[in-house]
Structure 1
Amino acid sequence: MRKVVLYIATSLDGYIASPDGSVEWLPTPPPGEDYGYANFLATADATLLGRATYEQVLTFGEWPYPTLTNYVFTRQPPREAGHPSVQFITEDPTHFVRELRQQPGGTIWLIGGSTLASPLLAARLVDELMLFVVPRVLGAGIPLWRHQDHAQPLHLLRNQAWPDGMMLLHYRLIEPAE
């Protein structure tokens, strides 16, 4: 079964974007540093994005994931066609991802945002969390998590700190006791 990994940056106070949805507060990595992004990306062959996250990525310029299959969850598909690697999904994300995990392939990268990540986490469809904690306090914004009905125990797989203050916390969800 394929695994779903939420790989995302968050401020120290738990926001993934400013109140207006922007991410200009994210630091530019030092020369020669990508915080392990290339290694992670090499394991993925699909992405999951909410509509707002997709629209944010479009503002960065050329579509950055042309070799991956990209699933964008939306209530209404856009009027214009996106990149050929993008498929717009209007069905329930938990049902879709449950079926996608059964198909052959590599890691499924859950890019975000929290409106998509939270129900997938609640349905236990997220296997790992790779949280990049940015040493900034935003004070307000779009939260990493939406409401969860129950606690999700995690096991720390690894952590890593960089000289610029970036911190990776890599967790695996613990399966509930039978």
Structure 2
Amino acid sequence: MRELVYYVAVSLDGFIAGPNGEFDAFLVEGDHMDAINDRFADTIPTDAAAALGIRQERTEFDTVLMGWNTYAIGGTPSPYRHLRQIVFSRTRTAEAENLEVTAEDPRAVVQRLKNEDGAAIWLCGGGELAATLADEIDRLVLKRQPLLFGAGIPLFSDRPYRPERFEPVDTTAFRTGVVVSELIRRREG
């Protein structure tokens, strides 16, 4: 069964973007980038990876899930065209290479995807979609940035209080202050 992985950059105070979707404060240069680009090459936008000479072999992820606002920030009609891209929106649509826009319940889509053959499913964002899919997330990979935003889009928007345990798998601290933490959902039984 495929895993749903929420792989995302997050500020120290728990925001994945600023109030208007800003993410330009996140550090994109430094010693953390080579390690991230090596393991998570599939998460780099297709054109950026090509410009950097980074091969994308779809070994970590072959599908990416996004809410409409996260998709719109990409600036191109098909930002991750090397992957199957599924964008959730009840009111908007778009057409592009390897892109599907759907108003279907995200949980139903993820449950169906998990039963297909393939690599892991990357939950790219945003916070509302992450909150909707919280029960389906199998693994968290958080790129904690040494920044305080003060306000913005939270890692999980409007999620009710319900503690759930994740077990640490790996944590790597870099000189830049970025800390990449990987955790898996603790399954009872």
2:167 aligns to what? 155
TM-score by length of 1: 0.89
* Counterpart Cα distance in 2 of 1:13 and 1:31: 22
Residues 26-175 of structure 1: pairs in structure 2 closer than 5 A: 26-30=26-30, 33-40=33-40, 41=42, 42-58=59-75, 63-78=78-93, 81-121=94-134, 124-146=135-157, 147-175=159-187
Q: In the TM superposition, what whole-angstrom CA distance separates every residue of 1:141-172 from its partner, at most 9, and x where no partner exists?
A: 11111213421101000000110100011100
CA shift at 1:33, angstroms? 2.9
Verify the 8 A CA contact 2:7 2:123 in the aligned structure 1. yes
Provide runs of 4+ in structure 1 moved above 6 Å: none
Unaligned runs of 5+ in 2: 43-58
Identity of aligned residues (%): 31
| Count of matched residue positions in the alignment of Structure 1 and Structure 2 | 171
Change over 3 Å in CA distance of 1:29–1:62 after alignment to 2: farther
TM-score by length of 2: 0.84
Unaligned runs of 5+ in 1: none
RMSD, aligned α-carbons: 1.8
